[in-house]
Amino acid sequence: MILDALFDAARSAQARAHAPYSQFKVGAAIATPTGMIASGCNVENAAYPVGTCAEAGAIAAMVAAGEGRIEAILVIGDGPGLVTPCGACRQRIREFAMPDTPIIIAGPEGVRAHFTLANLLPHSFGPDNLSTA
Protein backbone atom coordinates (compact mmCIF):
# COMPACT_ATOMS: atom_id res chain seq x y z
CA MET A 1 0.00 0.00 0.00
CA ILE A 2 1.28 3.47 -0.86
CA LEU A 3 0.56 4.80 2.64
CA ASP A 4 2.85 2.19 4.19
CA ALA A 5 5.62 3.01 1.71
CA LEU A 6 5.27 6.74 2.41
CA PHE A 7 5.31 6.20 6.17
CA ASP A 8 8.39 3.96 6.03
CA ALA A 9 10.28 6.36 3.74
CA ALA A 10 9.41 9.40 5.87
CA ARG A 11 10.31 7.63 9.10
CA SER A 12 13.64 6.53 7.63
CA ALA A 13 14.39 10.08 6.46
CA GLN A 14 13.39 11.48 9.86
CA ALA A 15 15.97 9.24 11.52
CA ARG A 16 18.67 10.83 9.35
CA ALA A 17 17.61 14.46 10.00
CA HIS A 18 20.30 16.93 11.05
CA ALA A 19 18.68 18.75 13.97
CA PRO A 20 21.46 19.49 16.48
CA TYR A 21 19.88 22.79 17.61
CA SER A 22 16.18 22.08 17.96
CA GLN A 23 16.45 18.31 18.45
CA PHE A 24 13.18 18.20 16.44
CA LYS A 25 13.60 15.77 13.57
CA VAL A 26 11.11 15.78 10.72
CA GLY A 27 10.83 13.46 7.72
CA ALA A 28 8.74 13.72 4.58
CA ALA A 29 8.00 11.40 1.70
CA ILE A 30 6.31 12.09 -1.62
CA ALA A 31 4.58 9.68 -3.96
CA THR A 32 4.48 10.64 -7.63
CA PRO A 33 1.97 9.46 -10.23
CA THR A 34 4.62 7.08 -11.62
CA GLY A 35 4.94 5.37 -8.23
CA MET A 36 8.29 6.88 -7.27
CA ILE A 37 8.82 7.70 -3.60
CA ALA A 38 11.10 10.65 -2.81
CA SER A 39 12.03 11.48 0.77
CA GLY A 40 13.68 14.29 2.68
CA CYS A 41 14.56 15.37 6.19
CA ASN A 42 15.10 18.67 7.93
CA VAL A 43 18.67 19.95 7.90
CA GLU A 44 19.41 22.68 10.43
CA ASN A 45 22.26 25.16 10.19
CA ALA A 46 24.05 27.22 12.84
CA ALA A 47 23.26 30.29 10.73
CA TYR A 48 19.54 30.13 11.50
CA PRO A 49 17.22 30.26 9.50
CA VAL A 50 19.31 28.86 6.67
CA GLY A 51 18.14 25.28 7.31
CA THR A 52 15.97 23.19 5.03
CA CYS A 53 12.59 21.67 5.82
CA ALA A 54 11.94 17.98 5.23
CA GLU A 55 9.26 18.77 2.66
CA ALA A 56 11.65 20.97 0.68
CA GLY A 57 14.23 18.18 0.70
CA ALA A 58 11.71 15.65 -0.55
CA ILE A 59 10.55 18.00 -3.30
CA ALA A 60 14.16 18.60 -4.37
CA ALA A 61 14.78 14.84 -4.49
CA MET A 62 11.61 14.35 -6.56
CA VAL A 63 12.62 17.03 -9.06
CA ALA A 64 16.22 15.77 -9.22
CA ALA A 65 14.83 12.33 -10.11
CA GLY A 66 13.00 13.82 -13.07
CA GLU A 67 9.51 13.86 -11.58
CA GLY A 68 7.24 16.89 -11.54
CA ARG A 69 4.01 16.08 -9.73
CA ILE A 70 3.12 15.22 -6.15
CA GLU A 71 0.43 12.55 -5.88
CA ALA A 72 0.54 12.48 -2.06
CA ILE A 73 2.89 13.60 0.71
CA LEU A 74 3.37 12.32 4.25
CA VAL A 75 5.10 14.37 6.96
CA ILE A 76 6.23 12.79 10.24
CA GLY A 77 7.35 14.47 13.43
CA ASP A 78 7.52 13.65 17.11
CA GLY A 79 5.64 15.29 19.95
CA PRO A 80 1.97 15.46 20.81
CA GLY A 81 0.93 18.06 18.20
CA LEU A 82 0.38 17.74 14.48
CA VAL A 83 3.51 18.54 12.47
CA THR A 84 2.02 20.13 9.37
CA PRO A 85 4.07 21.81 6.63
CA CYS A 86 5.10 25.39 7.36
CA GLY A 87 3.70 28.17 5.17
CA ALA A 88 6.69 28.20 2.84
CA CYS A 89 6.48 24.44 2.35
CA ARG A 90 2.75 24.60 1.71
CA GLN A 91 3.56 26.95 -1.17
CA ARG A 92 6.38 24.65 -2.34
CA ILE A 93 3.96 21.72 -2.35
CA ARG A 94 1.46 23.86 -4.30
CA GLU A 95 3.98 24.24 -7.12
CA PHE A 96 3.77 20.50 -7.81
CA ALA A 97 0.37 19.47 -6.43
CA MET A 98 -3.32 19.94 -7.06
CA PRO A 99 -5.76 21.34 -4.46
CA ASP A 100 -7.09 17.84 -3.73
CA THR A 101 -3.62 16.32 -3.18
CA PRO A 102 -3.54 14.38 0.10
CA ILE A 103 -1.22 15.67 2.82
CA ILE A 104 -0.90 13.02 5.50
CA ILE A 105 0.41 13.93 8.94
CA ALA A 106 2.00 11.23 11.08
CA GLY A 107 3.71 10.67 14.40
CA PRO A 108 5.82 7.74 15.56
CA GLU A 109 2.69 5.66 16.17
CA GLY A 110 1.28 6.18 12.68
CA VAL A 111 -1.08 8.49 10.83
CA ARG A 112 -2.59 11.30 12.90
CA ALA A 113 -4.50 13.37 10.34
CA HIS A 114 -5.38 13.70 6.66
CA PHE A 115 -5.70 17.01 4.86
CA THR A 116 -5.82 18.18 1.28
CA LEU A 117 -3.61 20.95 0.01
CA ALA A 118 -6.75 23.11 -0.28
CA ASN A 119 -7.43 22.56 3.44
CA LEU A 120 -3.95 23.76 4.39
CA LEU A 121 -3.53 26.45 1.73
CA PRO A 122 -6.98 27.70 0.69
CA HIS A 123 -7.34 30.03 -2.28
CA SER A 124 -3.70 29.51 -3.14
CA PHE A 125 -1.63 31.17 -5.84
CA GLY A 126 0.05 28.66 -8.12
CA PRO A 127 1.39 27.95 -11.58
CA ASP A 128 -2.09 28.07 -13.12
CA ASN A 129 -2.42 31.72 -12.04
CA LEU A 130 0.50 32.57 -14.33
CA SER A 131 -0.81 30.66 -17.35
CA THR A 132 -1.62 32.77 -20.38
CA ALA A 133 -3.36 29.92 -22.19
Catalytic annotation, residues: 55
Let me know: does 28 contact 75? Beta carbons within 8 Å.
yes
Angle ∠(11,120,51) on CA atoms, nearest 5 = 50
**HSE-CB of 70 using CA atoms within 13 angstroms:** 33
CA-CA-CA-CA dihedral for 12, 26, 103, 47, to nearest 10: -130
Instruction: For residue 52, give the DSSP letter.
Output: B
Let me know: does 78 contact 108? Beta carbons within 8 Å.
yes
